[in-house]
Structures are given as structure tokens and as C-alpha cells.
Amino acid sequence: RLNGQQLSMTMRTPGHDVELIHGFLHAEGYITNRDDIREARYCDGAVVEDDSGFERNTYNVMDFTTRTITTAPVITKPFLTSSACGVCHDFVPTFAMQPSHLLRAQRELGDGQAAFSKTGGVHAAALLTPEGERLVLREDVGRHNAVDKVIGWALLEDRLPLNDAVLLVSSRASFEIVQKAAMAGIGLIACVSAPSSLAIDTAQRLGITLCGFVRSEGDDGRFNVYCGIERIDLSGSES
């Protein structure tokens, strides 16, 4: 709920809910930094027990209040959404990542996936430095939610825009993931699976580097670069 009105509903893996919603609101253009939120709380009495009539807190409903109520939209009905409102960053390359650093980060991605190791059914998103060092990793049953969680973390840490960060996802790269990354100022996206054609077109139009099928094999590996090759340092690679 945003300012007391239902805004969106999503199926998510519980945990890091405040990060999730901050990331979602940022991607949708409702907030730009942590100071835009005055209060975030789980809703008491969100559900009424059918048999007893007593209200209870399920910790599945959160109410976010913005500092400037007039900037929030007038919401007349609940809706589901996963796209961003617009992009205002100038994606000028500020670094070039060595392939070995990206492949090492993908190889080490599983080390932080506690839920995946038990279930095999959740996605992960991680923010990396250009040297491949992990800044944060979050898991969720929804790949878009995992991305919202890491961007929400960055927003709460006052790290936006993420001009010098890399987004690594354990899934395919969708158009929505490219939009979310773009809103956060991320110039390099790497996915373990395939990107969609719309994701490629969007990344190319925005000047974002998009890598797919990032797979490490021992100390080696390979990946495809669909656009933005200038952020990949090939000086030490074999021709």
C-alpha cells in the first residue's frame, strides 16, 4: 500500500521486504532516494480471521508513506506492474570489466544462494564491483523481485546511481530487468541465461552493456555480449 491505498500485489519470497518495496517504488518512478519515504511498516489487522473475526498481522502487507503525499498518484484500483516509468541517466562507460572477473563472480554466485541450495526454485540477483567483488546478493522466487531487492538495498545505502556497478542475475534478462537497472544507473547487466529480444533492443537503445549465457567452466568460461562491448575489457583475452 502506498499512502494508505493498495498499489501492487506480488508473489515473493519473504525476507528483505523493505528493500523489495523500496526497489519497486524506485523502478516505478515513485521515489528517487530513501528520504522520499517517511514511514514503512507492516499493516496491523491486514487480515480478519473468518472463524473468529479477530484481526491479525500476516506480515504480507506493507504500508509505505511518502513525505510529499501530493507527489503520489491517485490510485483507484489495485494493479500489477513491472515496468519503469522512464529513464533519465546518461550511460557513459566509466569502466571496462575483465571477462575473468565476470566469470568468477558467476562461479561464486551459488555461494550466496542459501535458498536455492535447499529448493532449486529461486532466483538470485547480485550487485558487483567492476572487479567482480560482490556488494550484495538477494534471492526471490521472482527474478524481478530479486532485482528490486538489491536495488532497494543500494537505495537504502545511498549508493544510487550505480554508475560503477554490475548487475548479475541467475535468470534470463527480461525487458523489465533492463528497465529496473537503467533507472538505477547500472550500465552493465549479465545474465546466466538468455536475454529477450526486447531486452537487447532496450539495452542497445539506452547504451547499456548486456551479456548473456554467462557460464564459468572451472577456471574458464564463456559468455555472449549482445551490445555495449566497450564495457568489456578484451585486452587480455585470446582472439
Whether the predicted pLDDT of 77 surpasses 90: no
* CA atoms of 142 and 124, how far apart (whole Å): 9
Q: Which residues contact residue 166 at a Cβ distance below 8 angstroms, ignoring those fewer than 6 apart? A: 97, 102, 105, 127, 128, 129, 130, 132, 186, 188, 189, 190
* CA atoms of 77 and 9, how far apart (whole Å): 11
pLDDT at residue number 91: 78
- Mean pLDDT confidence for 168-176: 96
Three-state SS at 167: strand
- Mean pLDDT confidence for 112-138: 88
pLDDT digits (tens, 9 = 90+) for 11-64: 999 999 999 999 999 999 999 999 999 999 998 765 666 677 677 778 899 999
Whether the predicted pLDDT of 86 surpasses 60: no
pLDDT at residue number 238: 58
Whether the predicted pLDDT of 130 surpasses 80: yes
> Please, what sign has the CA dihedral across residues 164, 135, 192, 106?
positive
Q: What is the pTM of this model?
A: 0.86
Nearest alpha carbon to residue 178 among 79, 81, 80, 82? 82
Enzyme catalytic residues: 85
Confidence band, pLDDT 50/70/90 cuts, at residue 152: very high
* CA atoms of 92 and 29, how far apart (whole Å): 22
